[in-house]
Amino acid sequence: MDADVAIGPARVLTLQGGVRRGKNIDLGVMDPGWVGVRDGKIVYVGTERIEAKRIIPAEGKVLMPGFIDPHTHLVFAGSRVDEFEMKIKGKSYMEIREAGGGIMSTVRKTREADKEELKKLAKERLKRMLSYGVTTVEVKTGYGLTREDELKMLDVICELQEEFNVVPTFLGAHDFPPEYSREEWIQEVISMIPEVKDKAKFADVFCEDGVFTKEESRKILMEAKKHGLGIKIHADEIKSSGGTELAGELGAISCDHVVYPSEKGLKLIKKCGTIIVLLPGTSFFLGGDRPPVERMREEGIPLAVGTDFNPGSSPILSLPLVMGIGQVHYRLTPEEVIAGVTINAAYATGVQERKGSIEQGKDADLVLLKYRDEREIGYWIGENPCELVMKGGETVG
């Protein structure tokens, strides 16, 4: 075995074996296990001790795949700390939005910022995410909301790929900008799709009562699908609005938030293998309900977990913190949140061929926990669980 780096003997959570679903989630544990890395790739996973130029001792520690955050809005300027105060005084997310706050207030600041400034802010956030073990991040547009500003955001997201593992999503349908009529903005978003299709991997829509209706969302997403983009939907976040059903009707890769899905929606997405991306940090920050996790589990719908990092409903950068919140507030099991930020998040972002599990040939994106038991991630809530973070074979934190 010719490896540059060997890590072991560790309790290795391989997560080999594809997407996880249902009541008994197996993390593919190899204990004690050794992992060998060469040229940025995993070249060995097994129980035999191996030699290498550099040995990272890992006795009594857990080694697992780098975390994947499958849902963020991390490119934006400004903050919404004033709204935070309104929220604490009892105003709801929708009330704040109607009072001129919400998404449009971040849109105004993001439009004013140039590409360099947005990139600088995004890089700082991605570096902090890396320190929490997050080696791949899905990032959405959606704070530009003019053709020019949406393309500016998408360019920033693509340029971040030079340094980070970033998966770009086009979210022109995040809200309705006041400069356009409703119909005009929908047409504008549709007309942008041929232009964004080679840069973005997914298209997403905020399908919710009071934002994009199910039929408006369908129109936009059908066009995206026609141009080869994968489909994601912000579905049933604030009330049941048909988004989960639409995800099933269109064969979406993921439907996200999903606090108030209909029974019909759950049945439909089960059939087409859509992954539910749960965002427990958002429910926690907005003081909202938990989703019907038991029904999702019973139906065997795969669950992923993300931060939804954004300045309005989830100013939470730490995916490990959100894993803890997922356990406390959503009553997810430790195995569900771990699969939810590794192999299932890889499927939700379309990177499962290269990431999400520890297996030969995949990218050497790894996290060595400072714990001997992976359940401690959620238990020591708010702590950074990482002792070492490796991205593409390089130690980055």
Indicate whether 313 belongs to the interface with ligand NIG (CB under 6 A).
Answer: yes
Which of 72, 106, 241, 283 contacts ligand NIG by CB under 6 A? 106
Shortest spacing between CB 154 and ligand NIG, in angstroms: 17
Contact 79, 311 (CB under 8 A): yes
The number of CA neighbours under 13 Å toward the Cβ of 179 is 8
The entry of ligand NIG, Fe ion, none near residue 38 (CB within 5 to 8 angstroms by kind) is: none
Burial per residue of 267-284, b for 16 or more beta-carbon CB atoms within 10 angstroms, e otherwise: ebbbeeebbbbbbbbbbb
How many chain residues bind ligand NIG (CB under 6 A)?
Answer: 13
Indicate whether 241 belongs to the interface with ligand NIG (CB under 6 A).
Answer: no
CA distance 252 to 345: 14
Q: Which is nearer to ligand NIG, 61 or 73 (CB)?
A: 73
* Binding window for ligand NIG (CB under 6 A); candidates: 17-25, 187-195, 295-303, 306-314: 306-314
Cβ contacts of 88 within 8 Å, gap of 6 or more: none
How far is CA 125 from each of CA 72, 77, 219, 300, 339, rounded to the nearest angstrom?
Answer: 11, 12, 33, 34, 24
* Residue the block writes with tokens 């959405």: 140
Q: Which is nearer to Fe ion, 308 or 374 (CB)?
A: 308
Indicate whether 20 belongs to the interface with ligand NIG (CB under 6 A).
Answer: no
How many chain residues bind Fe ion (CB under 5 A)?
Answer: 1
Contact 209, 239 (CB under 8 A): yes
Indicate whether 234 belongs to the interface with ligand NIG (CB under 6 A).
Answer: yes
Contact 138, 349 (CB under 8 A): yes
Cβ contacts of 360 within 8 Å, gap of 6 or more: 42, 43, 44, 45
* Binding window for ligand NIG (CB under 6 A); candidates: 25-33, 53-61, 311-319, 341-349: 311-319
* Binding window for ligand NIG (CB under 6 A); candidates: 47-55, 290-298, 304-312, 347-355: 304-312
Shortest spacing between CB 12 and ligand NIG, in angstroms: 34
Shortest spacing between CB 89 and ligand NIG, in angstroms: 18
The DSSP element (H or E) to which 23 belongs, if any, is none
Q: Which is nearer to ligand NIG, 234 or 362 (CB)?
A: 234
Indicate whether 282 belongs to the interface with ligand NIG (CB under 6 A).
Answer: yes
The entry of ligand NIG, Fe ion, none near residue 313 (CB within 5 to 8 angstroms by kind) is: ligand NIG
* Residue the block writes with tokens 């699908």: 225
Q: Which is nearer to ligand NIG, 168 or 385 (CB)?
A: 168
Burial per residue of 216-253, b for 16 or more beta-carbon CB atoms within 10 angstroms, e otherwise: bbbbbbebbbeeebbbbbbbbbbebbbbbbbbbbbebb
Which of 308, 363, 365, 374 contacts Fe ion by CB under 5 A? 308
> Which residues between 132 and 191 bind ligand NIG (CB under 6 A)?
none
CA distance 86 to 82: 7
Q: Which is nearer to Fe ion, 103 or 126 (CB)?
A: 103
Nearest residue to ligand NIG on Cβ basis: 312
Indicate whether 308 belongs to the interface with ligand NIG (CB under 6 A).
Answer: yes
* Binding window for Fe ion (CB under 5 A); candidates: 178-186, 187-195, 307-315, 319-327: 307-315
Q: Work out the angle between the directed axes of helices 263-272 and 243-250 (0-180°, nearest 10).
A: 20
Amino acid identity, position 155: D
* Binding window for ligand NIG (CB under 6 A); candidates: 24-32, 102-110, 195-203, 371-379: 102-110
Which of 66, 312, 324, 334 contacts ligand NIG by CB under 6 A? 312
SS3 state of residue 91: coil
> Which residues between 71 and 100 bind ligand NIG (CB under 6 A)?
73
Peptide bond into 385 cis (omega under 30): no
Amino acid identity, position 68: I
Binding site for ligand NIG (CB under 6 A): 73, 102-103, 106, 206, 234, 237, 282, 308, 310-313
Binding site for Fe ion (CB under 5 A): 308
